[in-house]
Structure 1
Amino acid sequence: MRSVLDEWRPVVDETIESLLPRTVDDAYLTDFFGDATYAYDSTAIQHALADPIWELLDRGGKRWRAVLFLLFVEAFDEDPEEFLEYAAIPEILHNGTIIVDDVEDGATHRRGEPALHHTHGTDISLNAGNAMYFLPLKVLTRDPADLPPDARLAAYEMLTHELNRTHLGQGMDICWHNEKAVRISEGEYLEMCACKTGCLARIVARLAAIVTENQDDEMAVAKYAEEMAVAFQIADDVLDVEYALEEGGDFGKGVGNDIREGKKTLMVIHAADNAAPEDIARLEELLWSEENTDEEVMEAIDILEAAGSVEYAKQTAQDLSESATGHLEELDLAPEPTEKLTAFAEFVVEREI
């Protein structure tokens, strides 16, 4: 699966650059946004949009949402090359949410470097992140695949619906982060993941079905994408714990981030339901602390392990991955890309440290 991601990433970046060049000028602004009523300040727009956005994109990221979209297009027996601009939609949206999330979470780093609000300021970062919610809509306006009107309308309505749900998920996550007690249920946590992480994946699948005019299969592929994305989130949280265990408690800054940030992961929720009362109280205290030593991070992880919560989360992610691939079996998709979609659902839960 890594080879598929590596193959498509440069193509995806070139496509994003065609929508938002690294260097903007008046000619680009006029072509993309229309004639200025008075005059554009391309220097200011360069500083406020292009520079921070490309600084983030150049730091890395697998571009798996764009690649997943292209695999769906291929599975629907269409040429992915003809829909490249549409593949950029979920990728730009995702990176916009990252910028805004980092401000809301007070994050210090992103992809190994200081978060954008530390390098460019909160005002520029929020504006750039919000702009990335709207820039992709220009793809539908430009309509490079010459979609029929009903398909374009369906794409607009789908994006509006899913992006609203994304903010429901973020709202729940923020609220829980600001509470000391672990009071939420597993179902509420999974719903948060389905909104916050799953909706972007659903956008990938639903958009591919809409633009290739396969709306009859839209909700089945959306269910695959949602469950795969929730599995991805849970597996990512497990990796954070396993990385800390691999380092043996001598890992320094940047590892055990979920404990340090006080995240209410599935492991924490499971432990709150299954650990001894004194362990639950101590876990809540550690998660609520503004700063944790390496020893305290390991103490929290020991509580999770003793309650069987790490293994429980791993099994939940595995079950979701298997359920996701089951939705593909209901459809008449092209075999080779379907095999890659199945492999992708397996990849998200089998990644190694």
Structure 2
Amino acid sequence: MLERWALRGRLCGEAGESSTFAVMFLRGVDAADAGPSVPWHALLWSRSGAGGREPAVRTWMDGQAVAMLRSAVEADGAMDPRVRAALAEALADGTPVPPDRLLPGPVAVAATGRVGLEYGGVAALREAADGSYRLTVLEENGLGLDLVVAPTRAALPHRGLGDLGGHCRPRCDVRGVIAVPGERPAAVSGSGWYDHTTGADLPRMTGGRPTADAGWSRLDIGLDCGWDICVGDVRVQDLVSRRVTDRLTAAGVVAPDGTVVRARPHLAESSSWTSLATLNTYPTSWEVRLPEVDAQLTVTATVDQDIRSLLFGWGLLCTDAEVRGTLGGRPVRGRAWVEVVPAQKVTDIVEYLGRLQKVTRREVDLLYPDRPSPALTASLLGGCGTSTEGMSDTTVHETMVRPIRHLTDPGGRGWRTFVCCAAMELLGVDSGAYAPLLAVVEVIHSANLAIDDVQDGSTSRRGVPAVHTVYGVPTAINAATAAYFVLDRVIEEVVPDDDTLRLGVYQRWIRALRAAHGGQAVDIAGHTEAMDQAVAAHDPTALLGRIQAAHRFKTGLPARAFAEIGGLIARGDAPRIDALGEYFEAVGTAYQITDDLLDLHGATIPAPQGAHRKHCGEDLRAGKVTTPLARSVSLLPAEEISRLWRSVRGGGADAATVREVATAVTGCGAVQACYEEAKAHVDAAWHRLEPLLAESVTKVLVRALGNYAALRGTEVPAQDGVLWR
């Protein structure tokens, strides 16, 4: 059960300066297996506008809340095991994951009578005999808020949203002082909203696995004409399909004379925003229709950033909003306060990272738009020192843009695009302003794939025909190699005007291209002769070194470069940038090792009915030497590995032969050895990086990405303490 006391408002100072505030007190009680339940407590507060400073946001919790989170994570059988492991690791010491903080003192909540809350010396809320509320919030360096919130209307009880109880006071006078550290408190006055909510908030469980994931939105609207509207929207999503399986929407309307009207609103979202820090997508504009009072309203939120807190999953959106529309056929305006907690349980880290695709596509569309134009031609061919007159915009678009969009439109797994923005977030820089770098990474990777398919003779990629099969080999190669210069088109926009910084970014970018071509060269040459030598000597040492070098140069070093570019832009110091690069290099290398393993599993483990697998023994069928095949050289008897190698050497093996070889390689311990190698690479790099980083939600996600790269596939669903088998 969860109980919440929330206050928010808009204030104006004596000199006319405006500010907003929001404070949320939380108290939860979880059912205990034996004995009395111990409640947990948390606090969220924010202010903006005061003193012309940046918005301030703080989230606090007590030790019992940390313990509750840790227990919930460990018991959550639906959470992706790699994410669960990273979260459990971050919460193991009993302290919150920043920006969540531990309340410095005890919590006291009045058991009966008037509201009386004292949260650890950070914030307090007390109800006076006249029904007003005294709210105080302390910042680290002094007073934050000292306000009296006085309701001017009767309470509006909560009804219509499941088991929710409590009430709201939609129109309150607010007076007091607000201050920022180092400045004198300033007198303010304005309007506010008080809300007290009680109700169950835990999803139903079946065998330790939540059956659904829930999210909610709340719009508290105050119209200038004196009407107040509270709209609540709760959506339940299936954990697998992510489809909405149940929805409850209700509204309470208070007329200027105090009359209360219950309404069933029609609520539609008309725009959204995705946070690069949490990968949550939040609605930011709503069309609200209330037939009961003939109201049609548009609510548009002011979005700065989401509030990151593990209490709400990864984060939530709390923001002021503008309201326009009609009421009874007459134009109306007003303000609103919006809270959004999207359904955000991570049951599959691949799906989670894929949430970046929408932002990535938007940025790619800006660089490689749908339609030709002179401006696009000039951008693609710019820097050549001459006019583009005479160049056909249509031809340039069809031969340089369309082939790249052919691969970027379907989208990939998204972990590479995550690397660059994650590096910035890890160093304390909001990556939202650098979203064009997502397009740079995606375009370069897609160009690599297009050329790789030409060289390998592949006929499909990302579920569509390979680029060269649609546009021809010459056009595919030319468009892909031209795409390698995409960073040059955005560097002036996203990288500060600092010659030293831009030089560093260019150097990492060029090094990544050189490294990837080197890795591809070794990959094209193959490892057949090295495998022959390894089989003859019954010793794969040299062969494994060669394969790992190809993986490192082809995938590891580009990932390193993307991380280092993010670190440079965030102005990180050399030790942290180097450690970031080393970690993501290990992630990329491990990803290639486990990519080899997926091919084996595709040959030995039938895909679920209706599912499509990217890999299905293709490497063995082509006679390609992979890490698990190389590992099996010393794990299988010399005669057996020699026979198996001869059966696939040169390519063209039939399905029965591929299955036989895959089964032997899987059964001899080579797969386990590969997982241990991949995990060792990632863990060693993480242990060097981890002490250099401040704790954060992004740090948890980056650790989970390493777990994913090292431990992929349906064959590793459960944790046994060392590996998922």
Same fold (TM > 0.5): yes
| Alpha-carbon displacement from aligned partner over 1:278-322 (angstroms, at most 9, x marks no partner) | 323333323324322210111111231343212211221222232
Q: Supply the AA of the counterpart residue of 1:231.
A: A
Q: Supply the AA of the counterpart residue of 1:143.
A: E
3-state SS of paired residue (1:38) = coil
Equivalent residue for 2:488?
A: 137
Unaligned runs of 5+ in 2: 1-348, 534-541, 715-725
Work out which of the residue numbers 536, 546, 563 in structure 2 matches 1:205.
Answer: 563
Alpha carbons of 1:176 and 1:87: their partners in 2 closer, same or farther (altered >3 Å)?
same
Alignment partners' CA distance in 2, 1:60 and 1:296:
33
1:302 and 2:650 correspond: no
1:20 and 2:368 correspond: yes
TM (norm. structure 1) is 0.91
Following TM superposition, by how much is the alpha carbon of 1:40 offset from its aligned partner in structure 2, in angstroms? 1.8
1:157 and 2:507 correspond: yes
Equivalent residue for 2:357?
A: 9
Equivalent residue for 1:311?
A: 672
Equivalent residue for 2:692?
A: 331
Contact 1:90–1:203 (Cα < 8 Å) also in 2: no
Following TM superposition, by how much is the alpha carbon of 1:132 offset from its aligned partner in structure 2, in angstroms? 1.6
Alignment partners' CA distance in 2, 1:302 and 1:212:
47
Percent of residue pairs identical: 26
Alignment partners' CA distance in 1, 2:547 and 2:412:
25
Alpha carbons of 1:252 and 1:24: their partners in 2 closer, same or farther (altered >3 Å)?
closer
Work out which of the residue numbers 627, 630, 654 in structure 2 matches 1:293.
Answer: 654
Work out which of the residue numbers 393, 414, 424 in structure 2 matches 1:63.
Answer: 414
| Alpha-carbon displacement from aligned partner over 1:118-139 (angstroms, at most 9, x marks no partner) | 1211111111111121122322
Alignment partners' CA distance in 2, 1:41 and 1:280:
58
Work out which of the residue numbers 194, 218, 236 in structure 1 matches 2:577.
Answer: 218
Alignment partners' CA distance in 2, 1:231 and 1:312:
12
Q: Supply the AA of the counterpart residue of 1:295.
A: A
Equivalent residue for 1:244?
A: 603
Alpha carbons of 1:123 and 1:284: their partners in 2 closer, same or farther (altered >3 Å)?
same
- Alignment length (residue pairs): 351
TM (norm. structure 2) is 0.46
Equivalent residue for 1:52?
A: 403
Equivalent residue for 2:23?
A: none
Which stretch of the first structure deviates more once superposed, 302-311 or 121-130?
A: 302-311
Work out which of the residue numbers 438, 454, 476 in structure 2 matches 1:103.
Answer: 454
Following TM superposition, by how much is the alpha carbon of 1:86 offset from its aligned partner in structure 2, in angstroms? 2.2
Alpha carbons of 1:287 and 1:113: their partners in 2 closer, same or farther (altered >3 Å)?
farther
Indicate the structure with greater strand content: 2
| Greater relative contact order (Cα < 8 A, sep 6+) | 1
Contact 2:379–2:489 (Cα < 8 Å) also in 1: no
Contact 2:531–2:625 (Cα < 8 Å) also in 1: no
Q: Supply the AA of the counterpart residue of 2:674.
A: A
Indicate the structure with greater helix content: 1
Equivalent residue for 2:81?
A: none
1:347 and 2:347 correspond: no
Q: Supply the AA of the counterpart residue of 1:234.
A: I
1:76 and 2:437 correspond: no
Aligned-residue RMSD, C-alpha: 2.4
Contact 1:224–1:328 (Cα < 8 Å) also in 2: yes
| Alpha-carbon displacement from aligned partner over 1:62-107 (angstroms, at most 9, x marks no partner) | 2221122111111111111111112322222111111111111111
Contact 2:599–2:615 (Cα < 8 Å) also in 1: no
Unaligned runs of 5+ in 1: none
Q: Supply the AA of the counterpart residue of 1:23.
A: R
Alignment partners' CA distance in 2, 1:57 and 1:215:
33
